[in-house]
Amino acid sequence: MSRMLTRKLLPVRNILPPVTKRTSHVHRQRYDVIVVGGGHAGTEAAAAAARVGAETLLVTQKTHTIGALSCNPSLGGVGKGHLVREIDALDGLCGRAGDWAGIHFSILNRRKGPAVWGPRAQLDRQRYREFIQAELLSTPRLEVLEGSVEELLVTDPNPEEPGRHRVTGIRLANGSRSISASSVVLTTGTFLSGSLFVGHTVSPGGRIGDAPSSSGLSQTLRERLGLRVGRLRTGTPPRVLKDSVDLSLAKLHPPDSHPTPFSFMNTRTRCKPEEQLPCYLTYTTPGVERVVRESLHLNCHIQQDAKGPRYCPSIESRVLRFPGRRHQVWLEPEGMTSDLLYPQGLSMTMPPDVQLRLIREIPAMHRAEIHTPGYGVQYDYVCPTQLSPALQVKNTQGLFLAGQINGTTGYEEAAAQGLWAGVNAARWARSLPPAVLSRTESYIGVLIDDLVSRGVNEPYRMFTSRAEFRTSLRPDNADLRLTLKGSLLGCVSSARRDEFLRVKLRLQDAEAALRALTLSPAGWRKMMPGISVSESKNGSLSGMDLLQYKDVSFEMLASLFPEQLSPHMEFSERLKIEAVYKPHCDLSKREVERIQKEENMSLPQDLDYFSLPVSLSKEVREILDRFRPSTLGAATRLEGMTPAAVVNLLNYVQIAERKERMMNRSNAGHQEGRGDDLCARNASLPQ
Amino acid sequence: MLPISAVCGGIYRAAIRTLGTRNVPLCRRLSSGDGVLAGLADADTIFALSSGHGRCGVAVVRISGPAATTALRCMVGLRKHLPPPRTALLRSITDPHSKEVLDRGLVLWFPAPHSFTGEDSVEFHIHGGPAVITAVLQALGSVPGMRPAEAGEFTRRAFHAGKLDLTEVEGLGDLIHAETEAQRRQALRQMSGDLGRLYQDWSHRLKRCLAHVEAFIDFSEDELIEDGVLDRVDISVCDLQAEINQHLKDERRGERLRSGVHVVIAGATNAGKSSLLNTLCQRPAAIVSPIAGTTRDVVETALDIGGFPVLLSDTAGLRDSPDLVEQEGVRRARERVQQADLTLVVVDSTILPSEVKQAGAVLLKHLESVLTSQEQPEAGRCLLVLNKTDLLPEAQREQLSLGLRGTSGLPPVCLISCQTSEGLKDFLTVLQSTVQTMCADPLSGAPTLTQARHRAHLQQCAAALAQYWRYRDSDLALAAEGVRLALTGLGRITGRVGAEEILDIIFKDFCIGK
């Protein structure tokens, strides 16, 4: 309990955990898990692996860039905010870090329905880094090492299982030192064969100011392990000196007057409501479009934009694809005391002098000075269909990938994968079966399932429209969906588990109290004259039913029944949301159950689909062979699968399972437990 | 480990749904069966025509599920007492709403678990005319909780209830394949007409509505989404709702779909396709000439083969032609082949190599180019007709007729001469037995069933659109859910719409940055 209190009060007391560890050398020769990379994916992966109980080493080029926000100074939003809430429900870092570092909080989509509310915050870069570093360096079982990884160590493929490698560790650049580990999580972001683009200049690297990563890693992945890689691009806008911008010419955009914390563990944010900084909104002008067109020949990154993403990551693609329109530019603070502004929407890759000309076409920035020019990055990603739903490389045991290396974009997407890869890396190291999150229970599940079963051809970003069960996957109930599961996996602290159990019980009590309040429709009409209560089937309506009405709030009911309901005021908003959404969630329950069952039916990864003795067309066999779905559920979602093929596969799985059961029964006498492969086949979480 | 029965229902439903995924060629999408709404319930009660199609005295309509008794109560006037189980009763079958008598027939009641599906089941044995069948199926569709069965669904439910043994379970995949294929062909015929264009247009508009609502939800706070996006969606949804409801009300509208087994004659130019048509219908329905490419459009004739209705179409010879009219003819020919229940591939036997093995190989290749379907020709869906045998030496004729029989991958081969009528009798026997087998399949050539299915899906679509309005002002996420469900309902007719397709529209219509 005391730990919970300190955690809760942490942001308010302005204290970070004391940093006690050194980062210049390692204490062990062997770790359970090594995480390569200290970005959003890497930090969540390392912290999660350590929480689950693995001896973990985080290797990063520079300790002081751990937790750096390389691009926008913000966290959350619509879809992305959902991810942050889920990461927090699994005790990840970014939600709490956001509460610590946020300087402008707002809930997007406030008027569009709680399922699509998007918690978002502008962040102070310095504070964010501070928090993440302090957390990592004080996490038990987690060590941090500054260094560059030269090579990934893998075994030759097992002759009995063709194409199957096993990871054994890493070799560092300086002095060729090797460190061994059962699992390695690669979160190298844009550094895998990364190139930086400004105007005509192209230089190797993944982020400006940082040394390029060694080519050894990329080589191991491509040549040694034979992984298919693709190339993606991203970019960042120039940073502008705040003093040089005439903010009176931009529209002030204030934060919410009451900041809502990201974390289920926080009741307040570190930043006081009145201390929050505003953002500003301004627009592009025809002059901006002119500058882009005039400088196209100087713009290497854009010239290569032959097959770019469907959306428009840079100002160049915006004005080229949607000419003659004005586009929004948000001017966002970079920190509490920073003298820079981040012009969101102006990512560009032209030469610096043209960048200056361009931004000065915008009235508010007509005298603006650029502190750091914008630039583009092109980098390799590993086609994520080669991963399992645990984010493990299918042909290499113990190797996990997370973040931009899998073709995603965004901090939240990276963090979500990192956390899940970290959990699974630790489970692998401890010989536990992989843990899988379903797309029916979380956005993290949607993200991972989309990646591993469909792949990407543009940087993947989360949108709420990707979630077919959007009405149940809400930011408000992420804890109810995930915390218990996280706790069973061991990745949730006892403080969070206790708090969760308290909340869950209280919510149940409150719902029970609401259900216990039953009146006839006429009775309700008398008590609440303004509400047009309709008739009900069985003659009476409960408080929960009434709460479904648009104009009925929990507060209204509580004022009518203070004795029964006033103890539950803490949850008034959650109860209202639950009451409105429950009928809709119930409707999709059957579909959810179906998908979950199918997701629990695993297809062995080494199946030879061409010789499988079931009736499948050649076309279907090719599809299955190409995508190698991990579960029957993933197989049914593949394009080109026929219903008959799915039924035949089902038959096959059932017969295989029956055989396996019989085999186990006959082996039970002389063999203890089952091999890892068998466990992996029946991948499911402890119930 | 899950019990088999618990899993299979879902798999089956998913199986049906996957048929409609994106990027699958249109022809394979059309029968996309299922989705969220029907996924709601095994609690649904399903019905279907279970007897064969064609000239038959009695048609059997099967009903299975919890509301089966409702059908008994409201359609055969058995309000108070259910009939004794498994005993035939002669009753008047009436429309539950208009109380109009539809037919007089036998009614059987099989209470659970002693029925084929293990559920409460009812059978109506009614007169076999298409008008009666249509009326009864439509009346059933109007009973709450009832919907037309999806492909293989009766069998699937039986499987669910443990009424099938293992060998029967193994046949389930084949059954579903056959039935979905039959539905696909039927839907394809319907979709290529005016009705199909209407549904496609609705689907297209609904997709745009959904894309715009989704864009407003996901991006309007960060990006510049022009004012009035939602207003335009309002107008669109309102129009769509009105049009769909109007369509549902006006039962006489919609096109008359021709019943019968669809048999298409296809092949290269000058193989003698039109001669075969004329021979079969015993009148010069199509122009015949020695000039290649004489037939340019589809020539259709209704026939009665051994008592079964057949719709016979002659098509343009397949070849690359610079002539635009002929190109269109070839396109239509290929379309017909895709929609056909049975394709007669006509080949000029004089162009075949004299060696039998080589001839077999040539024919296989030729079949592939005519049928163009990615899957191997289904057994019984194709006959190979070698024409002009009167021009072959006797020895070669015999070699072909004996030798080709053993060639694997070839459908049944008939050697005929339209000129001399040689071999025609044997060919007619084969054709008749094939048509007969097809008519035993209740799904082939039964447009009423497709219509009933479409009706049910359109009703779901209209109901879901009402949810849009219920939440339009209070909760856009729930309003969007209404549009999603509507699109799922319509998608079961026109092909499923995936999240990526919606994102495509969003990114095309709006400038979305990072």
CATH number assigned to the domain with residue range B57-131, chosen from the 4 options 3.10.20.70, 3.40.50.720, 3.30.310.80, 3.30.1360.120: 3.30.1360.120
**pLDDT confidence bin for B423, thresholds 50/70/90:** confident
Q: What is the mean pLDDT of residues A423-435?
A: 96
pLDDT digits (tens, 9 = 90+) for B137-148: 888 888 877 888
State residue B291's pLDDT score. 77
Does position A21 have pLDDT exceeding 70, yes or no?
A: no
Nearby residues of A337 by Cβ (< 8 Å), 6 or more positions away: none
B266 or A214: which leads in pLDDT:
B266
Count CB neighbours of A318 within 10 A: 27
* Chain Cα centroid distance, residue A171: 29
- CA nearest neighbour of B237 among B485, B491, B452, B506: B485
All residues of chain B having their beta carbon less than 8 Å from the beta carbon of residue A79 are 218
State residue B214's pLDDT score. 94
pLDDT digits (tens, 9 = 90+) for B241-265: 999 988 887 654 444 455 667 889 9
Q: How far apart are CA B112 and CA B122, in angstroms?
A: 10
All residues of chain A having their beta carbon less than 8 Å from the beta carbon of residue B14 are 594-595, 598, 633, 636, 646
DSSP-assigned letters across all residues of B286-309: S---SSTT---S-EEEEEEETTEE
pLDDT digits (tens, 9 = 90+) for A384-424: 999 999 999 999 999 999 999 999 999 999 999 999 999 99
CB contact under 8 A, B477 and A114: yes
pLDDT digits (tens, 9 = 90+) for B324-335: 888 888 888 888
Q: What pTM does this model have?
A: 0.77
Note the ipTM here. Answer: 0.85
Q: Which of A275-289, A388-402, A647-661 has the lowest mean pLDDT?
A: A647-661
All residues of chain B having their beta carbon less than 8 Å from the beta carbon of residue A310 are 503-504, 507-508
CB contact under 8 A, B513 and A590: no
State residue A10's pLDDT score. 43
Q: What is the mean pLDDT of residues B307-334?
A: 84
Backbone angles phi, psi at B150, to 5 degrees: -85, 170
CB contact under 8 A, A619 and B375: yes
pLDDT digits (tens, 9 = 90+) for A506-542: 999 999 999 999 999 999 999 988 888 888 777 889 9
State residue A306's pLDDT score. 45
Cβ of residue B221 closer than 8 Å to a chain A Cβ: yes
Residue linked to tokens 């035993």: B440
Q: Which of A99-108, A232-241, A420-429, B179-188 has the lowest mean pLDDT?
A: B179-188
CB contact under 8 A, A636 and B218: no
Neighbour-count burial for A496-518, b at 16+ CB within 10 Å, e otherwise: bbebbeebeeebeebbebbeebb
Q: How far apart are CA B454 and CA B148, in angstroms?
A: 9
Backbone angles phi, psi at A343, to 5 degrees: -85, 85
**pLDDT confidence bin for A425, thresholds 50/70/90:** very high
Q: What is the mean pLDDT of residues B278-305?
A: 78
State residue B247's pLDDT score. 84
All residues of chain B having their beta carbon less than 8 Å from the beta carbon of residue A409 are 514
Backbone angles phi, psi at A315, to 5 degrees: -65, -30
Which of B224, B478, B503 lies closest to A113 in CB terms?
B478
A 95-134 residues inside an 8 A Cβ radius of B:
108-109, 111-116, 118
Beta strands B342-348 and B413-415, pairing class: unpaired
CB contact under 8 A, B15 and A595: no
Domain boundaries, chain B: 1-44+145-192, 57-131, 195-254+446-509, 261-408
Cβ of residue A313 closer than 8 Å to a chain B Cβ: yes
Q: State whether residue A119 is helix, strand or coil.
A: strand
State residue A304's pLDDT score. 59
Which of A318, A619, A651 lies closest to B173 in CB terms?
A651
State residue A454's pLDDT score. 87
Q: How far apart are CA A43 and CA A36, in angstroms?
A: 9
CB A393 within 8 A of CB A400: yes
State residue A140's pLDDT score. 94
State residue B441's pLDDT score. 59
**pLDDT confidence bin for B178, thresholds 50/70/90:** low
State residue B188's pLDDT score. 64
Q: What is the mean pLDDT of residues B178-206?
A: 74
DSSP helix, strand, coil percent of chain B (3-state; round to 5): 50, 15, 35
A57 or B178: which leads in pLDDT:
A57
State residue B450's pLDDT score. 66
Q: Which residue of A has its CA nearest to B3?
A: A654
How far lies B137's CA from each of A238, A255, A506, B180, B452, in Å?
67, 60, 51, 20, 7
Topology of domain B195-254+446-509 in CATH is Four Helix Bundle (Hemerythrin (Met), subunit A) (1.20.120)
| Cα distance between the two ends of chain B | 44
Rg of chain B, C-alpha, whole Å? 26
Count CB neighbours of A677 within 10 A: 13
The DSSP element (H or E) to which B484 belongs, if any, is helix B476-494
The neighbouring-strand residues paired with B304 are B309
DSSP-assigned letters across all residues of B455-469: HHHHHHHHHHHHHHH
Does position A656 have pLDDT exceeding 70, yes or no?
A: yes
Cβ of residue A650 closer than 8 Å to a chain B Cβ: yes
CA distance A540 to chain B (A): 22
A120 or B175: which leads in pLDDT:
A120
CB contact under 8 A, A644 and B173: yes
A 165-224 residues inside an 8 A Cβ radius of B:
none
Handedness of CA A429, A430, A433, A436 (dihedral sign): negative
Q: Which residue of B has its CA nearest to A331?
A: B222
* Chain Cα centroid distance, residue B191: 10
* % of chain B at pLDDT higher than 90: 15
pLDDT digits (tens, 9 = 90+) for B84-105: 899 898 988 998 888 888 889 9
B 118-177 residues inside an 8 A Cβ radius of A:
151, 169-170, 172-174, 176-177
Residue linked to tokens 């970005």: A39
Tokens coding A106: 């707002």
Q: CB-side exposure of A220: number of CA atoms within 13 Å?
A: 21
A355 or A29: which leads in pLDDT:
A355
State residue B495's pLDDT score. 73
**pLDDT confidence bin for A673, thresholds 50/70/90:** very low
* Chain Cα centroid distance, residue B464: 25
Q: What is the mean pLDDT of residues A644-657?
A: 76
Q: Which of A399-413, B2-16, B436-450 has the lowest mean pLDDT?
A: B2-16
Cβ of residue A25 closer than 8 Å to a chain B Cβ: no
State residue B248's pLDDT score. 82
Q: What is the mean pLDDT of residues A660-681?
A: 54
Beta strands A328-333 and A279-283, pairing class: antiparallel
Range ranked top by mean pLDDT from A210-224, A402-416, B181-195, B311-325: A402-416
B 449-478 residues inside an 8 A Cβ radius of A:
471, 474-478
Q: How far apart are CA A55 and CA A34, in angstroms?
A: 9
The pLDDT mean for chain A works out to: 88
State residue B257's pLDDT score. 53
- CA nearest neighbour of B302 among B272, B243, B261: B261
State residue A461's pLDDT score. 94
Nearby residues of A198 by Cβ (< 8 Å), 6 or more positions away: A349, A350, A351, A352, A373, A374, A375, A376
Q: How far apart are CA B364 and CA B354, in angstroms?
A: 15
Q: What is the mean pLDDT of residues A239-243?
A: 96
**pLDDT confidence bin for A625, thresholds 50/70/90:** confident
CATH superfamily to which B261-408 belongs = P-loop containing nucleotide triphosphate hydrolases (3.40.50.300)
pLDDT digits (tens, 9 = 90+) for A462-494: 999 999 999 999 999 999 999 999 999 999 999
Backbone angles phi, psi at A372, to 5 degrees: -135, 130
* % of chain A at pLDDT higher than 90: 63
CB contact under 8 A, B481 and A646: no
DSSP-assigned letters across all residues of A334-384: --SS--EEEEET----S-HHHHHHHHTTSGGGTT--EEE--EEEEEEEE-G
pLDDT digits (tens, 9 = 90+) for B38-88: 233 356 888 888 776 555 678 889 999 988 888 888 888 777 778 889 989
CB contact under 8 A, B11 and A632: yes
Nearby residues of B395 by Cβ (< 8 Å), 6 or more positions away: none
State residue B40's pLDDT score. 31
